[in-house]
Amino acid sequence: MMKRYWLAIAALIILSPLGLLADGTAWGEWGGNDLSETLGYIPQGMQNVQDVWAGIFPDYSIGFLGESSLSQSIGYIIAAIIGSAMVYGLSLLLTKMIAAKKNSTLPCSNK
Amino acid sequence: MHIPDGYLSPSTCLTLGAVMLPVWYRASAKLKKDLDVKQVPLLSMGAVFCFLIMMFNVPIPNGTTAHAIGATLVAIIFGPWAAVIAMSVALAIQALVFADGGILAFGANAFNMAFIAPFVGYYVYKFISKNALQGSTRQLAAGAIAGYSAINCAALVASIEFGIQPLFFTAADGTPLYCPYGLDVAIPAMMVAHLTVAGFIEGIVTAAALKFMAVQPVTMLQAQTNKKEEVV
């Protein structure tokens, strides 16, 4: 049963480059430069926090792979794998910690 | 719908982050009470599903893009509180590793996608699917409508957060300090994207995944019943 779900996850990872086909940016997610092209300026408050955090693989792209659409797709898949592993790991860690607390009190509630 | 840093004022970020603290607290308390350790891997897969489905950008007629968020499915299967945790984890990795959604705006993004979306999705689903058979058309339709409603409510809330910025936060000369677009621009732009495209994707994804899972249903409830039988 779990195998079925893992296969579905694997399928999503392999198909993820389909998400690259959509051109453009989501509304309200433009970077400072894109915004200054449309507005003529970068809002001051935005400028102040622009460099707060750039991420490790911004925009799900693995920079060193290059710009061709094939390497972008491969990069996107790698980002999907890295991200999935991290999400799975963090979620496992968090929820196990939460669930484990309960189990330690279980014997008492069973009495 | 991942608001980057700089679009919301620090006070907006702080307020929404402060709202999320009791939500996260309640979610972990709920999980502590209800979550079976055996469910942990499956719930974590739910978080991965949310993360991955958000990578599927789809084009919007107005030249922007949008994507499904997956929150509805996780809320239906594990309950809204578990979905709060799963979505928050996915959003945290997106912000930290992929700079998708701001660090300062994490509370706001969590409020929209890890709180509003799962709760709307869960209750819409519950209302429509009442007494529906597992795998029935009504159950799947309930999932689809729940997904459509959930992502649109989240998008509406996000657009309001965007839109109030120029009302409250401007420089001395009147230029906006953060998101420069008011409610009159932000709400239509976000809602067009989600009412016409992303909402349907979230609905279809939710229903399709429910159908996929209906072959071997593993709802939290069912797992708990099985456990009781084992004990007996």
Chain segment B138-189, per-residue pLDDT in tens: 999 999 999 999 999 999 999 999 999 999 999 988 899 999 999 999 999 9
Residue B25 located in a structural domain: yes
Average pLDDT over residues B3-15: 96
Test A2 with B47 for CB contact under 8 angstroms: no
**Is there a contact between B19 and B107 (Cβ–Cβ < 8 Å)?**
yes
Give the Cα separation of B57 and B68 in Å (integer).
8
pTM for the model: 0.91
Residue B49 located in a structural domain: yes
Residue B224 located in a structural domain: no
State the CATH number of the domain containing residue B149: 1.10.1760.20
% of chain A residues with pLDDT over 90? 52
Question: Could you tell me the residue range of the domain that residue B150 belongs to?
Answer: 10-218
% of chain B residues with pLDDT over 70? 92
At B197-211, the pLDDT tens digits run 999 999 999 999 999
Average pLDDT over residues B15-37: 94
Test A43 with B179 for CB contact under 8 angstroms: yes
**How many domains does chain B fold into?**
1
The alpha carbon of residue A75 is apart from the nearest alpha carbon of chain B, in Å, by: 12
DSSP string over B47-82: HHHHHHHTT--EE-TTS-EE----HHHHHHHH-HHH
Residue B155 located in a structural domain: yes
Query: What are the residue ranges spanned by the domains of chain A?
Result: 56-106
Test B37 with A55 for CB contact under 8 angstroms: no
- A99 closest CB neighbour out of B3, B35, B176: B35
**Is there a contact between B84 and B22 (Cβ–Cβ < 8 Å)?**
no
Give the Cα separation of B115 and B135 in Å (integer).
26
ipTM of the complex: 0.89
CA–CA–CA angle B189, B14, B87 (5° rounding):
65
Give the Cα separation of B177 and A89 in Å (integer).
38
Residue A24 confidence class, pLDDT cut points 50, 70, 90: confident
- A44 closest CB neighbour out of B48, B94, B177: B177
